[in-house]
Amino acid sequence: MSDIIKLLPDHVANQIAAGEVVQRPASVVKELLENAIDAGATQIQMIIKDAGKTLIQVIDNGKGMSMTDARMAFERHATSKISTADDLFNLHTKGFRGEALASVAAIAQISVKSKREEDDLGTLLAIEGSKITKQEPVVTSKGTMISVRNLFYNVPARRKFLKSDQVELRNITDEFHRVAMVHPEVAISFTHNDTSLFNLVKSTYRQRIVGIMGAKTNEKLVPVEEETELMSIRGFIGKPEFARKTRGLQYFFVNNRFIKHNYLNHAVASAFEGLLKDKSNPSYFLYLTVPTDSVDINIHPTKTEVKFDDEHSLYAILRASVKHALGQFSVNSIDFQQEKQYEVPYDVAKNGFTQAPKIEVDPDFNPFQQDSKPEKSYQAPTFQKPPSQPWESLYAGIEETTQLIDETHTEESTSSMFQQHEVEQRNIFQLQRKFIISTLKSGLLVINQQRAHERILYEKLLRQLTVQNGVSQQLLFPIKINLPVEEVAILIALQEELEHTGFLFKSLENNVVEIEGLPLELKEKDVPGVLEAVIAKEQHDLPENTYSPADRLAQTMATSMSIKTGEVLNSEAMENLVDELFACKEPEITSSGKKIFINLSGDSLNSKFN
């Protein structure tokens, strides 16, 4: 029997490796941007077409490559970053394994132009499916330009599983943010389909965060800075009042590398304990520096997961640093420089102090002198009153006022008693500000008010989206909301559907959303929360055939706009809610399948007393 174990051909091995390293266009973006940073670039341009499916191009002014290096860069496990296994625990670069470019070359068409400063000519290299199709000298500027075209062109099954352009673009933008935030010293731009999304100049960390997240972010940031033997921390946390329902603005960087770490995230969240609203998440942009030999980066192909030697100590330091920064922020809101003054009435402070008292005496008074005239009594010293309304005027009409108050009180008491009697007659009331209880002939009807309103809004919004006849309430003053560029792009993609529900947008550009009309059921104060929920829902990688876009939008808006637990409803509002619920097509469950109401029959109540 012949041997059956054989070595795989290189192009097959590279395609298998590509399955681990290149999951989507964003994976290629990450590798190319990090290679440009490792090459010492101070200017980087990134050009994307069709969310990376057609073209991913990165141009940098780094140190470039020789002809030999350009070819070797696309060989498996070829790298200039490490030479021994010990180097894995002393890493100062982003890439080090040497398998990324080889994996990309196996499933895409690549062209490379690169030149070192000391060379007269650069190198042009063309690769298709791991095979070099062209190599020749070329005139080019210092640095490297890599173009990746038609990703997964030879692996149609992988290309088929890519998400929509909107989802893939969001993932690319996330990778761009992670590189740009940690390297503010590098000028970097991002263009998608000939539209400039970001053009970031060299700046500070704070300026770079504001440049990415929008100008309004500046007022939301609280600086964090701590230096210890185990770790140094710098960066910013968001003020508690700006916490969001989603976790989109949470960034950890360790030794200039973006990471995900649930344990450290818990440290930050615990520092905010008692300061956030229910189910809100703090935002943070924290840059941690630890000794290179105390962290293991080589535990995951994407290098976003790391392992620390002493996680418990880092947890304690991080939590204490964030709490200290929050404490400093609270203290700084108190003005200790204000001069101490006595509190005086407003009219005194405005007009000056009252006049000094004057003593009036009778100079002719003689206690030993007897006179036939009526005895003049001794006049005690008096204080001159400041000019003001006489005291008697304050009591003028007191009897009439008292009588009027008594009559009004009697009327109000009678009215409140009558209203209470009416409520009791309607046999409907609210329990725990969560349930609506109504009597039936057979027993009791218990309705969850939030779920009921959610169902009502869902069917109403879905109907408006289907027939495209949403009614809008015009605003006297437009609402302006600052959002990151990628979130504005999501709203642009959803603009037509949102307008069918009643939204009217005056402008959607850069970081600013301007709204001049709202759906009838939506309050102005709830607009940011509703848009945030819509954006967060769209950012999830949902299968395309699970819900239609209209369904997903109606569900999200209904959940965000519905009456919440804790809101007090009067009897009229409760009755209207019950009537509208049972006018729905499916009043028993919400759009997500949760039960809305239950019936408590008389028999079930009787059984409780057995």
Q: Which domains does the chain have, with CATH numbers?
A: 10-202 (3.30.565.10), 214-329 (3.30.230.10), 443-581 (3.30.1370.100)
Residue 160 DSSP class: H
DSSP-assigned states of every residue in 512-573: EEEEEEEETT--GGGHHHHHHHHHHHHHS---TTTS-HHHHHHHHHHHHHSPPTT----HHH
Residue 593, token pair as written in the block: 């399948």
**CA–CA–CA angle 458, 491, 547 (5° rounding):** 40
How many CB atoms are located within 10 Å of the residue 139 CB? 10
Identify the pLDDT of residue 354.
56
Is residue 159 packed enough to be buried (19+ CB in 10 Å), middle (13-18) or exposed (0-12)? middle
- Of the CA atoms within 13 Å of residue 413, those in its CB half-sphere come to 6
Euclidean distance between the first and the last CA atom of the chain, given in angstroms as a whole number? 80
Q: Which pTM was predicted?
A: 0.67
Mean pLDDT per block of 10 residues along the chain (610 residues) reads 73 64 87 90 95 94 90 75 54 61 88 92 91 91 94 85 85 92 94 90 93 86 91 92 80 89 90 82 92 73 74 92 86 47 46 61 69 49 48 49 48 43 60 88 88 91 81 87 82 86 86 88 85 79 56 85 88 90 90 88 81
Q: Are 29 and 46 in contact (CB under 8 A)?
A: yes
SS3 466: helix
In angstroms, the CA 92 to CA 256 distance is 9
Tens-digit pLDDT profile for residues 256-268 = 889 888 889 999 9
Tens-digit pLDDT profile for residues 333-345 = 444 444 444 444 4
Identify the pLDDT of residue 346.
42
Tens-digit pLDDT profile for residues 376-414 = 444 444 444 444 444 454 445 545 544 544 544 444 444
Question: How far is the CA of 544 from the CAs of 144, 486, 541, in angstroms?
Answer: 38, 20, 9
